Amino acid sequence: MSGYGLLATFETEAALVEAARAVDSAGHTIVDAYAPYPIEGLPTLAQDQASRVGWAGLSGGVLGAVGGLTLQAWTSAFNWPLNIGGKPQLAWLAFVPVAFELMVLGAAAGVGLAFLRLSRLRPRWRTPGWRDTWPHDRFVLEVAATGEARLESARSLLRAVGAVVVSEHGNVRVFSTPTATAQSFRWLDRTLIGVACAATGVSFLLWPDWTRRNLAYAPDMAVSPAVTTYSSSAVSEDAQTLRAPVPGTVPRGPLPLHYEATEADALRAAVELQVPAGIAAEPDRLRAEKLFEIYCQPCHGSDGHGDGITIKRGFQPPPSLLTQHARDMRDGQMFHVITYGQKLMPAQASQIRADDRWRLILHMRRLQQRLPVDPPPFGSPPAPEPPPP
Amino acid sequence: MTVVPHRVGTILAFGAIAAVIAIAGALLQTERLGPNLLLAGVYLVGLAVGALFFTAVQEVTGAAWSDSLRTIPATLPSTLPMATVLLLLVFLAHPETYSWTVEEQSGLRGVWLSRPFFIARSSLYLGLWMLSARLLTRPAASSRVAAGVLAVLALTGWLAASDWLMSLTPQWTSTIFGVYVFVGFVVSAVAAMLLTCVWVRVRNPTGRSVSEGQLRDLATKLLGFSCLWAYLWYCQYMLIWYTNQPHESTYYAVRTGVDWRVLFFATVVLKWALPFVLLLGKAGKRRLAVLALAAFSVLVGHWLDLYVMIFPVVATDRVSPGLLETGMALGLGATCAWVLRNCDRLEDPTMTGVNRRNSEP
C-alpha cells in the first residue's frame, strides 16, 4: 500500500509550520501534524480545514436538550399526566436540569464522535499498529497524495521546504498489516461474530413480540401464577376471577345488622341493640372525640347544639343532640340513626366502623351529662313515648 | 504644565452631562436618591471586587496568558473610594432605604441589622477590599497572598451582598443569594475588561498588549462566568418556585408580576442569553464589534439585575428607570472610563508577581 501518503520529518517547529503552509497553498491535503508539544500558529492551519467538531458538539447538545424536554413533556404531561405538588403539568422550569444534563451528554457524544470520525478512528477489531520508528522528538507532517504524479510533486515540495526524511509508508492508520499473532487469532474473531449473528437471528425467530419482555432472568417475581383481580379466569365456570362469597358467610368483626332504613326498624333496634360490653368497658374517649370532630361536628357543632359550620353556610340545621328527646332516645335507636341515616342525615355506615359508632354514642351521652338540656326545636311535635325497655 | 489629553476632556464633559441629568432627576424625585446611590455604589463595588477576584485567581494559578492584560483588573479597584462615598451616603444620609432602620427586627436578626453594626461591617468589607487591591498590585505579590485574598473575597462578598441587597427585604432569605451576587460582580468585571481590551485593540490594532488570542480567551471567560451566573439565577429561582413557600416566593412574586416581569426577564436575556449566542461560536469571538456588543450587553444586564433587586422594594412609585437613573448610569460609565482612561498606553503592564517571576532569568 505504499504511495498513499507521505510522512515528512522536520528538525524545527518553524520548518514544520512553513512546510505546512507551503503544502497547503500547493493544494495538497494535510492529514495531520505531529509534534512533541502544541504549536502556536499550526492549529489555525488545521482549523481552517476541519472545524466541524464545534458544529457536531452544538448539534449533539441541541439534540440532547430538545430530546430531554420532549421526553419529560411527553411522559409527565401527555402519556401519563401527573399532578406533582400542584405544579403545572408542563412545568418547563422543572424540566431544565434533566434537559441540561442530556444537552451536556449529547454535546460530549457529538464532539467525541466527530473527533473519531475526523481522525478516522473507527471502531475495529485490531487497533492499527503505530509505527515505532516514528520519531517522537521530531516534527512530522503527514500529507495525503494519491496518484504517482501528485505523490512525486508532494515529495519534491517537501524536500524543497527542508524535510529531513520523507517516508512513503503513508497512512498507517488506515492500512496496517496485522501482526502474525493477530493473524493466528482471526478464527476466534470470526467464530465470535458468527455466534453473535446466530444468536440474534434465533432470538428474532423465537421471540417475535417486541412489545413485551421476552426473556427474563428468574421471571417468577414479575410473572406470578396468581391471576389479577379483574382478569378473566380459566378455572371458574363464569370466567370471573372475583368470586362471590358462599351464601350464609359471616364476615369477621362486627356482626351483620338485619335492619332496613325505616322508622319501624329504628324502634326495633332500640329494643334489640345495646352498647357492646367491651366498648362500654373501654370507651376510648380520645378516639371518640376525634371521630366526633371529623364526622359529626361539621353539622351538629362541637357541643351538639346543631350549629356546625355547614349550618352557618346555609345547610338545614339538625335538631340539637342535647334536647330531652335526644337524651331519652335509646342507644340502639341512636345506633340505627347513625348507621342508616334519618331525614336529612345521610347513612354513616360506609365511613364509620360499627365499634366507632358505639363510641360516638357514648361520647354524645357524655356531652348530654355535662351540658344543660336544650329546648325542643320550634314547632316540633311532642316527643313520642320511649318504648318500654 | 502638561497638555490635557483629548480623552480627559471628553470624559469630563460626559461626566458633567451625566451630573446635570442626575441632579435634575434628584431634584425632581428626592425619594429615589437613596436606592440610586446604593445601586451605583454596589455597581462600582462589583467591578472592583470582580477585578480583584480575577487578579487573585490569575496569581494563584500562575496564569501567564493574561500577563499583559493585568493593568485593567489592577486599575478597576480604583473605583472603591468612589463606591465607599456613595455607600456611606446611603447608610448615613438615606437610612430609610432599608426598612429595618424603621421597623425594628426581633431576635438575632435585630442584632445583626442594627445601624452601628451594619455600618461597621460595611466599612470592614470596603477596607479589606482596598487592602487586598493594595496587596495584589505590589510587585512582591505572591500566590500565597492571592489565595488569602480569595478567601477574604469569598466571605466578604457573600456578607456584603446579604447586608446591602438581601436586607432590603429583611424577612426574605436565600442561602444562594451571596454567591449569585458575587458571581454577578465577576461577570460585570470580566465584561468591563473585555470592553476595555476591545477599545485598546481599536485604538492600537498592532499593539502587543492585547493579542487576538487573549481577546478570545477573555471572551471565553465571559461566556463561562455568564453561564455560571445564569446557573445560579436558575438555581435560586427554580428552588423558590418549586417549594413555593410564601416567605420565599414573595420576592419573585413581585418581580414576575405584571409590572416588573419585562425588566426581570430582560436581565437574563442581557446578562446571559444574548452574550451566550454571540460568544458561543468561534466566528463571534474573532469580531471586535461582536465582543463589544456582548460585553456591553452584560454590563447593562448587570445594572438591570441590581435595579430589579433594589427598586421593587424601596421605590415602588414606578417601574421604569427615569431621569435620575439615566444620569446615574451615565455617571457610572464616565467613572469607569475615567478609571480606565490610561489602559491603552501601558505597553508594559504592571509588574505583578507572575510577571516578575517570569522576567527573572
Is the CB of B238 less than 8 angstroms away from the CB of A93? yes
Q: Residue A87: what pLDDT?
A: 86
493544494: which residue's cell?
A27
pLDDT tens digits for A144-180?
Answer: 777 777 888 888 888 888 887 777 654 444 434 455 5
Q: B349 and B209 in contact (C-beta within 8 Å)?
A: yes
Q: Residue B19: what pLDDT?
A: 92
Return the beta strands (E) in A196-288 as ranges: none
Burial B331-350 (b: 16+ CB within 10 A, else e): bbbbbbbbbbeebbebeebb
Q: Phi, psi at residue A289, to the nearest 5°?
A: -60, -45
**Which of A18-32, A371-385, B42-56, B227-241 is the least confident region?**
A371-385
Cα A193 to Cα A125, A173, A207: the distances in Å are 11, 23, 21
Q: Where does residue B158 rank: exposed (0-12), middle (13-18), buried (19+ CB within 10 A)? A: middle
Mutate to test the interface with B, among A40, A53, A93 (most CBs of B within 10 A): A93
A65 vs A101: CA distance, rounded Å:
8
Q: Residue A49: what pLDDT?
A: 55
Residue B361 lies in a domain: no
Q: Where does residue A220 rank: exposed (0-12), middle (13-18), buried (19+ CB within 10 A)? A: exposed
Residue A285 lies in a domain: yes
Residues 27-86 of A with CB under 8 A from B: 51, 54, 58, 85-86
Instruction: Give the type of residue at A236.
Output: S
Q: Residue A331: what pLDDT?
A: 92
Residue A224 lies in a domain: no
Q: Residue A1: what pLDDT?
A: 37
Q: Residue A242: what pLDDT?
A: 85
Longest dimension (CA), chain B: 66
pLDDT tens digits for B100-116?
Answer: 988 888 888 888 999 99
**Which of A209-213, A220-224, B160-164 is the least confident region?**
A209-213
Residue A81 lies in a domain: yes
Choosing from A110, A137, A167, the residue where a domain stops is A167
| Residue B215 CA, distance from chain mean position | 20
Inter-axis angle of helices B143-164 and B115-137, nearest 10: 150
Burial B179-214 (b: 16+ CB within 10 A, else e): bbbbbbbbbbbbbbbbbbbbbbbeeeeeeebbeeeb
Q: A68 and A99 in contact (C-beta within 8 Å)?
A: yes
- Quick one: A291 and A143 in the same domain? no
Using a CB-CB distance cutoff of 8 angstroms, which residues of chain A are in contact with residue B281? 54
- Nearest residue in chain A measured CA to CA from B236: A93
- What is chain A's length? 389
Instruction: Show the cell assigned to B178.
Output: 451571596
> B241 to chain A, minimum CA–CA distance in Å?
9
Asked whether the predicted pLDDT for residue A110 surpasses 70, the reply is yes
Residue A210 lies in a domain: no
Residue B359 lies in a domain: no
Instruction: Give the type of residue at B350.
Output: T
- Quick one: A269 and A141 in the same domain? no
Cα B232 to Cα A380, B213, B225: the distances in Å are 71, 29, 11
Using a CB-CB distance cutoff of 8 angstroms, which residues of chain A are in contact with residue B282? 51, 54
Is the CB of B237 less than 8 angstroms away from the CB of A93? yes
A26 vs A13: CA distance, rounded Å:
20
- Quick one: A160 and A272 in the same domain? no
Bin A89: left if φ > 0, else alpha if -120 < ψ < 50, else beta: alpha
Check residues A186 and B35 and name the one with the higher pLDDT: B35
The CA-based dihedral angle spanning residues A150, A154, A156, A159, taken in that order and rounded to the nearest 10 degrees: -170
- Nearest residue in chain A measured CA to CA from B237: A93
Cα A301 to Cα A42, A306, A317, A319, A338: the distances in Å are 89, 5, 10, 11, 16
Q: Residue B184: what pLDDT?
A: 96
Looking up residue B68, the CATH number of its domain turns out to be 1.20.1630
pLDDT tens digits for B255-267?
Answer: 998 889 999 999 9
Is the CB of A54 less than 8 angstroms away from the CB of B282? yes
Is the CB of A54 less than 8 angstroms away from the CB of B238? no
Check residues A345 and A86 and name the one with the higher pLDDT: A345
Q: Work out the number of other CB atoms within 10 angstroms of the CB of residue B14.
A: 16
Q: Residue B349: what pLDDT?
A: 47
Residue A341 lies in a domain: yes
Asked whether the predicted pLDDT for residue A191 surpasses 80, the reply is yes
Number of domains in chain B: 1
Looking up residue A352, the CATH number of its domain turns out to be 1.10.760.10
Spatial CA neighbour of B321 closest among B126, B32, B92, B100: B32
Is the CB of A54 less than 8 angstroms away from the CB of B281? yes
Q: Which residues pair with A88 in a beta bridge?
A: none
Residue B3 lies in a domain: no
Percentage with pLDDT > 70 across chain A? 82
**Which of A369-383, B145-159, B307-321, B324-338 is the least confident region?**
A369-383
Q: A174 and A124 in contact (C-beta within 8 Å)?
A: no
Domain that holds residue A140: 5-167
DSSP state of A166: E
380520645: which residue's cell?
A286
Using a CB-CB distance cutoff of 8 angstroms, which residues of chain B are in contact with residue A93? 237-238, 241-242
Residue A93 lies in a domain: yes
**Which of A3-17, A284-298, B146-160, B236-250 is the least confident region?**
A3-17
Instruction: Show the cell assigned to A264.
Output: 319501624
Choosing from A167, A183, A217, the residue where a domain stops is A167
DSSP state of A385: P
Asked whether the predicted pLDDT for residue A205 surpasses 50, the reply is yes
Q: Residue A135: what pLDDT?
A: 61
Residue B322 lies in a domain: no
Confirm or reject contact between A104 and chain B (CB < 8 A): no
| Residue B25 CA, distance from chain mean position | 23
- Nearest residue in chain A measured CA to CA from B238: A93
Q: Is A143 helix (H, G, I), strand (E, B) or coil?
A: strand
Q: Residue A183: what pLDDT?
A: 64
Q: A11 and A164 in contact (C-beta within 8 Å)?
A: yes
Confirm or reject contact between B139 and chain A (CB < 8 A): no
Residue A195 lies in a domain: no
Asked whether the predicted pLDDT for residue A383 surpasses 70, the reply is no
B153 vs B166: CA distance, rounded Å:
18
Question: What is the Cα Rg of chain A in Å?
Answer: 45
Mean pLDDT rounded to a whole number for chain A: 82
- Nearest residue in chain A measured CA to CA from B243: A85
Number of domains in chain A: 2
Query: Which pairing describes strands A139-144 and A165-167: parallel, antiparallel, or unpaired?
Result: unpaired
Residue B333 lies in a domain: no
Q: Residue B354: what pLDDT?
A: 44
Is the CB of B242 less than 8 angstroms away from the CB of A96? no
Asked whether the predicted pLDDT for residue A219 surpasses 80, the reply is no
Q: A158 and A23 in contact (C-beta within 8 Å)?
A: yes
Check residues B165 and A384 and name the one with the higher pLDDT: B165
Residue B255 lies in a domain: yes
A19 pLDDT tier (thresholds 50, 70, 90): confident
Percentage with pLDDT > 90 across chain B? 60
pLDDT tens digits for A284-343?
Answer: 899 999 999 999 999 999 899 998 999 988 888 899 999 999 999 999 999 999 999 988
- Please name the helix (run of DSSP H) or strand (run of DSSP E) that holds residue A9, with its range, or none: strand A5-10
Q: B169 and B270 in contact (C-beta within 8 Å)?
A: no
Q: Residue A238: what pLDDT?
A: 84
Is the CB of B242 less than 8 angstroms away from the CB of A94? yes
Asked whether the predicted pLDDT for residue B193 surpasses 90, the reply is yes
Residue B343 lies in a domain: no
Instruction: Show the cell assigned to A10.
Output: 522536520
- Nearest residue in chain A measured CA to CA from B241: A93
Q: Residue B328: what pLDDT?
A: 93
Flag whether the ipTM exceeds 0.85: no
Question: Shortest CB distance from B238 goes to which of A51, A85, A96?
Answer: A96
Is the CB of B242 less than 8 angstroms away from the CB of A87? yes
Instruction: Show the cell assigned to B192.
Output: 468591563
A24 vs A17: CA distance, rounded Å:
10
Asked whether the predicted pLDDT for residue B1 surpasses 50, the reply is no
Residue A89 lies in a domain: yes
B141 vs A194: CA distance, rounded Å:
68
pLDDT tens digits for B266-282?
Answer: 999 999 999 999 999 88
Residue B117 lies in a domain: yes
Q: Residue A37: what pLDDT?
A: 80
Q: Which residues pair with A10 in a beta bridge?
A: A139
> B258 to chain A, minimum CA–CA distance in Å?
19
pTM value surpassing 0.80: no
- Quick one: A133 and A9 in the same domain? yes
Q: Phi, psi at residue A10, to the nearest 5°?
A: -125, 155
B309 vs B312: CA distance, rounded Å:
7
Q: B254 and B284 in contact (C-beta within 8 Å)?
A: no
Number of helices and strands (H, E) in chain A? 15, 4
- Distance spanning both ends of chain A, measured CA to CA: 117
A182 pLDDT tier (thresholds 50, 70, 90): low
Asked whether the predicted pLDDT for residue A24 surpasses 70, the reply is yes
What is the mean pLDDT of the segment spanning A62-76? 95
Q: Residue B127: what pLDDT?
A: 96
B191 vs B272: CA distance, rounded Å:
12
DSSP state of A7: E
Domain that holds residue B250: 30-316
Choosing from A138, A167, A196, the residue where a domain stops is A167
Residues 198-237 of B with CB under 8 A from A: 234, 237
- Quick one: A156 and A294 in the same domain? no
Confirm or reject contact between A257 and chain B (CB < 8 A): no
Q: Residue B352: what pLDDT?
A: 44
B354 vs B346: CA distance, rounded Å:
17
Asked whether the predicted pLDDT for residue A266 surpasses 60, the reply is yes
**Which of A63-67, A109-113, A116-120, B131-135 is the least confident region?**
A116-120
Highest mean pLDDT among A275-279, B284-288, B295-299: B295-299
- Quick one: A155 and A272 in the same domain? no
Q: A4 and A170 in contact (C-beta within 8 Å)?
A: yes
- Quick one: A131 and A14 in the same domain? yes
Check residues A25 and A97 and name the one with the higher pLDDT: A97
